[in-house]
Structure 1
Amino acid sequence: MDGLTFFGYLGALLIGLVLGLIGGGGSILTVPVLVYLLGVNPVLATAYSLFVVGSASLVGAIRNMQKGLVDFRTAIVFAIPAFISVYISRKYLIPAIPEQITQIGDVVLSKNVAIMIFFAVIMLLASISMIRNKRKETDEEQEIKYNYPLIIVEGLLVGMVTGIVGAGGGFLIIPALVLLARLPMKKAVATSLLIIAIKSLIGFMGDVQNLEIDWSFLAVFTSLSIVGIFVGIWLNQFIDGKKLKKGFGWFVLVMGIYIIIKELG
């Protein structure tokens, strides 16, 4: 095992660790770890990311179900348009993108480069959300009201983003659940994990029909991420999650800028 491979598998542990510590954000690391440390093709990396994110989120969702924190009705209302959108994105949209999108002079914008740049933009948006973190974090029970048109639009948007970049989209889902369904923060985080699990795993089903999957590698990488989740959940008792989230936000910001410079350079 060479140095990059070792750090790649260490990255798998880190992904789960972050998910366990702050309830999200770790999935934004999955594609860069797979592409830059383990040499996986970007399109295949987004597919693998869906499986890793979906499996890890499912573990967290089951844990939250046992605590009674998941609002199943809200999850269904949001998840249906989301998983339809992510499945269509993986099954039809990604294969339809040409390998060479455009050429400006001597500069060729390939499919792989475009996906990584789009992913970097999503990383920048996620980092700003984590750094600012101005949401009113209340755990008070409120009457749940469903703004169905906005929830459907948000679900379709999150599903498309998830389908293209392979990230969970928790930074988009949680504010939507708080603002559109008026869920308290703890329930919003718990319910978002179930939504992420459903749409990510269904999106991955669209890839199984189009891509050749290395199941043994994927099983090892996912298992390490799940181990990281349990370590993160344990460490969460001793670490201030808000400070950690802001610090991780700055790390993601630097990573996003690095990817853009690397791909365009």
Structure 2
Amino acid sequence: MRYTIALFLAVLVGLSLGLIGGGGSILAVPILKYVVGVTAKEAIAMSLFIVGIVSIVGLIPHWQQKNVNLPVALSFIPPAMIGAFLGSKITTLSFITDTIQLVSFAIIMLLASILMIKKSSKKNKDKKEENSRKITSKNKIYQKIILTTFQGFGVGVLTGFVGVGGGFLIIPCLVLVGGIPMKEAVGTSLLIIATNSASAFLGYLNQVELNWFVMITFSLFASLGIIIGAKLSQTIEAKSLQKAFGYFVLVVAVFILIVR
């Protein structure tokens, strides 16, 4: 019964990625930990596999619609993959316990919820678009590369350490620093999330016990969710969902901090 519930929730993981381009790992880790019943380290490692697969599925229509900016992605991916692999290896240190990872994950969730709630306001959206134009016009190419490199590495470390794909951080970075439209940012972020997750997952191999049956079935249901989410995104304004999702993430973060 619990796993049936987990599979239903897996669809929500995909819906999140399909509708707002992020939030997959933020949902997957708590589901795997508290519903499926695996350890925190196992949940993080398994979520990386799941979100990586689902991101690839979600990437396909964006690629077909030419909503993937390869030059920007290729400047972001190498440092992000290095950071993701290193982040996963940091978790093997003896003093990095499940509790430390869960608390770190909850803090990232709090940050994500605040960003999503703030982004949901039109005023904030307009301000970001204005900032995007300013940054795009002022910064030279080499400055963008430096910023993208550092941000990519930072997002990668977070991916490896706490299992978040980083969509909620990647998309603003792509818009503000990369200077690309939101639609391209969502498609490009899925490519980055997929490569980040793959790199971090490789770092966890042979470090934790993995339930491949859970990962594969969870990925299938989450993939169904992202397909549905991609269809719904054509008729539903994602911004209208971000505020509610942000508050939901906030509640889950507080729950993790309390029960961890």
Say whether the fold is shared (TM-score over 0.5).
Answer: yes
Match of 1:228 among 222, 225, 240: 225
Which residue identity is paired with 2:196? Answer: K
Which residue identity is paired with 1:113? Answer: T
Shift of 1:130: 0.6
Which residue identity is paired with 2:192? Answer: I
Which residue identity is paired with 2:186? Answer: V
2:166 counterpart of 1:166: no
Mapped partners of 1:51, 1:115: distance in 2: 18
Mapped partners of 2:38, 2:195: distance in 1: 24
2:35 counterpart of 1:29: no
Match of 1:116 among 80, 102, 111: 102
Mapped partners of 2:107, 2:8: distance in 1: 25
Higher mean C-alpha deviation, range 142-151 or range 30-39:
142-151
Mapped partners of 1:258, 1:74: distance in 2: 37
TM-score (normalizing by structure 2): 0.89
Shift of 1:178: 1.3
SS in 1 for 2:91: helix
Shift of 1:67: 0.8
Match of 1:127 among 110, 113, 117: 113
2:245 counterpart of 1:259: no
Shift of 1:14: 1.0
What are the ranges of 5 or more consecutive residues in structure 1 without an aligned counterpart?
A: 100-110
Shift of 1:260: 0.7
Shift of 1:6: 2.1
Mapped partners of 1:148, 1:234: distance in 2: 34
Mapped partners of 1:245, 1:123: distance in 2: 14
SS in 1 for 2:92: helix
Number of paired residues? Answer: 249
Match of 2:52 among 34, 51, 54: 54
Shift of 1:199: 1.0
Shift of 1:84: 0.5
SS in 2 for 1:95: coil
Mapped partners of 2:145, 2:224: distance in 1: 37
Residue number in structure 1 paired with 2:14: 16
Mapped partners of 2:20, 2:76: distance in 1: 22
What are the ranges of 5 or more consecutive residues in structure 2 without an aligned counterpart?
A: none
Matches within 5 A, 1:135-174: 135-136=125-126, 145=141, 147-174=144-171
SS in 1 for 2:208: coil
Residue number in structure 2 paired with 1:85: 83
Shift of 1:113: 1.3
2:91 counterpart of 1:94: yes
SS in 2 for 1:24: coil
2:168 counterpart of 1:182: no
2:201 counterpart of 1:204: yes
- Checking the alignment, whether the CA contact within 8 Å between 1:53 and 1:167 is kept in structure 2 is no
Mapped partners of 2:206, 2:259: distance in 1: 31
Which residue identity is paired with 1:239? Answer: I
**Which protein has the bigger helix share?**
2
- Checking the alignment, whether the CA contact within 8 Å between 1:51 and 1:200 is kept in structure 2 is yes
SS in 2 for 1:96: coil
